[in-house]
Amino acid sequence: MPARLVVDGLSFAYRDREVLRGVTFEVAAGEVLGLVGPNGCGKTTLIRCVDGMLTPRGGRVLLSGREVRTMHRREVARAMAYVPQSVGNQTSSTVFETVLMGRRPYLNWTVSPEDEEKVAEALDLLDLRDLALRQVGELSGGERQRVMIARAVVQETGVILLDEPTSNLDVCHQMAVMEVLSGLAEERGIAVVLALHDLNLAATYCHRLLVMKAGSVYGYGAPAEVLNEEMLERVYGIQAVIKRDLAAPYVVPVRSGRLQGGA
């Protein structure tokens, strides 16, 4: 079901260490939002707060007007799917069984033919059909990552949250996964929120970018608006050139200033 995600003034701290400071953004049905920023800026914590895995110190997360913290976990699982950054070795489960777990919010006592059909469709979508009977622990990191994305797809939620979904993939599968996610957003009206390190991948496939710096929002808007030389120097500490003669802005790093003079 299409949904609108609203994050309003979200703050979070680990004990006395403040990690998020008043983060605000919206994601409409059918939109892909990329969370970008250097390591340690709060992207993973933000995604976990949105999903309800962590309890914010302040602010609200609204899903189609309802506060996520007031929803039962089964309701949340039917509304939002989460794909973590790292995927462990699930040695006892096959790829098919692992993807089928995405149907858990809908299952009663038995698996229906419809559930099996949806799993098969997701395996085809992520180019995993030939691996269906392999144990997940036997797969490469990139293959396991695609399995977890397929599991999120069969959950049939209005929102999908992904933490670095392309980090273990080669360039071909990076593009393929981003094409799948953008296609899901466009064709099924899913709101997709994903943390990315690759700015050029983000600029190509995301409708908007949320640039984070030290737990706060530094910039928020279309890639052409937020990707500029000043932002890259202030947020990432690099000198770069932005090529704007392509379909999307393209970042060409020139020099890093953070390690100058160091070992």
Query: Is 244 part of a structural domain of the chain?
Result: no
Query: Is 197 part of a structural domain of the chain?
Result: yes
Query: Is 107 part of a structural domain of the chain?
Result: yes
Convert 117-149 to b/e letters by CB count within 10 Å (16 or more is b): ebbbebbebbbbeebeeebbeebeebbbbbbbb
- Distances from the Cα of 149 to the Cα of 68, 86, 136, 241, angstroms: 22, 12, 13, 33
Is 223 within 8 Å of 203 (Cβ atoms)?
A: yes
Number of domains the chain contains: 1
Q: Domain containing 132 — which CATH number?
A: 3.40.50.300
Q: What is the pLDDT of residue 145?
A: 87
- Dihedral angle over CA of 53, 196, 142, 125, nearest 10: 90
* Tens-digit pLDDT string for the chain (263 aa): 667 899 999 999 998 889 999 999 999 999 999 999 999 999 999 999 999 889 999 999 999 888 988 888 888 888 999 998 876 665 678 999 999 999 988 877 788 889 899 999 999 999 999 999 999 988 888 888 899 999 999 999 999 999 999 887 889 989 988 999 999 999 999 999 999 999 999 999 999 999 999 999 999 999 999 999 999 999 999 999 999 988 899 999 998 875 443 32
Best CA proximity match to 175, nearest among 144, 146, 209: 146
pTM, two decimals, is 0.91
- Domain range for 95 is 5-227
Query: Is 242 part of a structural domain of the chain?
Result: no
Query: Is 251 part of a structural domain of the chain?
Result: no
Query: Is 67 part of a structural domain of the chain?
Result: yes
Query: Is 235 part of a structural domain of the chain?
Result: no
Residue 108, classed as helix, strand or coil, is coil
Is 217 within 8 Å of 208 (Cβ atoms)?
A: no
For tokens 């395996």, name the residue. 123
Query: Is 255 part of a structural domain of the chain?
Result: no
